[in-house]
Amino acid sequence: MIDARTDFLVHAADAHAYHCARGMRRFFEANGLDFQRFLRDGLMASELAATGDALVLRMLEQMMRQREAANGQ
């Protein structure tokens, strides 16, 4: 679960390890999110999680585990 304490910025390069560009673009269009903003600035994990998309939630969970491991948690 992502909250104010655990929220983090997700960049396109981070997400590309999990999803292809075509799939990401379709996801953004389907969910009314700004793909160009994501490419340029990234989006907060909480914005992506709010879609409830199972694949995105799984990706964010893996990213959170990686971040925790890198921080020694």
Domain ranges of the chain: 9-70
Write down the pLDDT at residue 72: 81
CB-CB contact of 54 with 60 (8 Å): no
Count, in order, helices (H) and strands (E) of the chain: 5, 2
d(CA 24, CA 43): 13
Q: Which helix (H) or strand (E) holds 30?
A: helix 21-30
Per-residue pLDDT of the chain (73 residues; tens, 9 = 90+): 788 888 999 999 988 888 888 989 999 999 999 999 999 999 999 999 999 999 999 999 999 999 889 988 6
Write down the pLDDT at residue 73: 67
Sign of CA pseudo-dihedral 22, 26, 27, 29: positive
